[in-house]
Amino acid sequence: MAGRILFGILLTSAILAVALPAAAQSDVSGFWVLNVPTGDGNIMKTFFDLKQSGQQVSGDAYLRGRKYAISDGSLSSGKLHMAVVLSKEHPERKVIYDGDFDGTKLSLKVNYFNRPITRAEGERSTPEAMAPPAEIPPPALHDVADNGLALTPPMGWNSWNKFAGRVDDVTVRTMADAMVSSGMRDVGYIYINIDDTWEGPRDAQGNITGNTKFPNMKGLADYVHYKGLKIGIYSSPGPQTCAGYEGTYGHEVQDAKTYAAWGFDYLKYDWCSAGRIYKNDDLQAVYQKMGEALLASGRPIVFSLCEYGLGDVWKWGPKVGANLWRTTGDINDTWKRMEEIGFKQFDIAQYTQAGHWNDPDMLEIGNGGMTADEYRTHMSLWSLLAAPLLAGNDLRTMSDETKSILMNTEVIAIDQDPEAHPVKKISEQGPIVIASRQLMHQTWAVGLFNRGDATAKVSVNWKDLGLHGKLQVRDLWQHKDLGRIADQFSADVPSHGVVLITVKH
């Protein structure tokens, strides 16, 4: 009996000796790289710096060069769960990782914005794996020649607000179709602009290619041109775009020639990962490099800077050959964000001039997050600001109300006024803002904005516009002449709404 007991003790000890190393391997702490298929032929690398305490997993995730804290992380019986919140703004943007950890490898399903993605595989790595490439010294500063384009603010459509990473060749073609059939082309909307996630790998010669969503970029450009429209493309001066796709870093001249050969007419150039290599003091020089490359490409290409208002871009944008430049971070389809962006633009309005425009980001009209009054405010404010009018909705399914806002030719005429006078804020009292812009033919556009939560009576005195006497007044949203009015004009302006008029002697 004693022998059996001793044998049992020894056997148990042997089992424990075998089990202990496996238990030690169940700790997921450390640095990891996860290779995530995007479904279009690309693989995106996500890096994790994980810490485990019991079943709780914490640490950081590095997506597209940005660091995010891991929330709601756990590991139990080989099942790993992690959540990464990219933005808490409505709607919340979150990535969920769920799957298996066998002690050496990760096998996870990634749910990005509630869209399941193919299972991703991960392995242990080191922080050096996510280090950016060595800095290419930016060129010495000098002025780039004016390309003579975009003498009025560009008008068109951009894919990002509505489709983000879901944009593909078919979507772009059908948007071009809809821009024509809806009548938008006839009122001035010309550009069909592809934003991020079109990029594929570079070929053996270093030429950028389209991914599987965009199998024939030249064919797509030809189709859009056949419709009587122009087409735009997107990249970054960094090694990756904002969505983690192939950037232009080190390939500026080569990529500009490729865009020209494909037939593109517009480039949106987004800072993104360039900020991991360069300082904000380098913005002008880095953008100058692409401005020169576009001029040398052999094709006229509108140059749109997307640097979120960094470095007082409005002071040097024309010097790098830019036709427009972002003055702010991203817009979203909410009243709060739209008004926050739009009403901050008056202080820099004087920097607009023909061919060179402040860009407070794309339009959200028709995406459903705001009321009709709020969308009319959006359109009125952007037009008074002489901002680019780049629709961001699904042009194929527009309601009549959305069409009436986007295609109000009288409001568009303010935006496109060839004299390019800057807007001026006439007054601001509480939630009431009055702004005016001189137009051609001795006409003034005046916007009476109510940012408050209730209808308000708003008045503007002609003397505040530098005018006097009886003026001819027209309401641009009612499409109605209001007759000759002396001294001042008053109107009831709805909550979050606008009354937009023109006045002249």
Catalytic residue positions, numbered: 270, 330
Q: Tell me if the bond preceding 91 is cis, omega within 30° of 0.
A: yes
Please name which of 341, 314, 334 lies closest in space to residue 422, comparing C-alpha atoms: 314
DSSP strands (E only) in 332-477: 357-359, 389-391, 424-429, 432-439, 443-450, 456-461, 470-475
Burial profile 235-255: b = 16 or more Cβ within 10 angstroms, e = fewer: bbbbbbbbbbbbbbbebbbeb
| Contact call for residues 173 and 346 (beta carbons, < 8 A) | no
Report the alpha-carbon distance of residue 358 to residue 348 in Å, rounded.
8
| Contact call for residues 176 and 209 (beta carbons, < 8 A) | no
Report the alpha-carbon distance of residue 232 to residue 51 in Å, rounded.
44
Our CA dihedral for 120, 123, 124, 130, rounded to 10 degrees, sits at: -50
DSSP string, 118-144: EEEEEEE--GGGGPPPPP-PPPPP-PP
DSSP H helices in 196-334 = 217-226, 252-262, 283-295
Report the alpha-carbon distance of residue 285 to residue 72 in Å, rounded.
42
Q: Which residue, chain included where needed, has tokens 């996500």?
A: 46
Please name which of 219, 158, 165 lies closest in space to residue 42, comparing C-alpha atoms: 165
Q: Which residue, chain included where needed, has tokens 């001189």?
A: 438
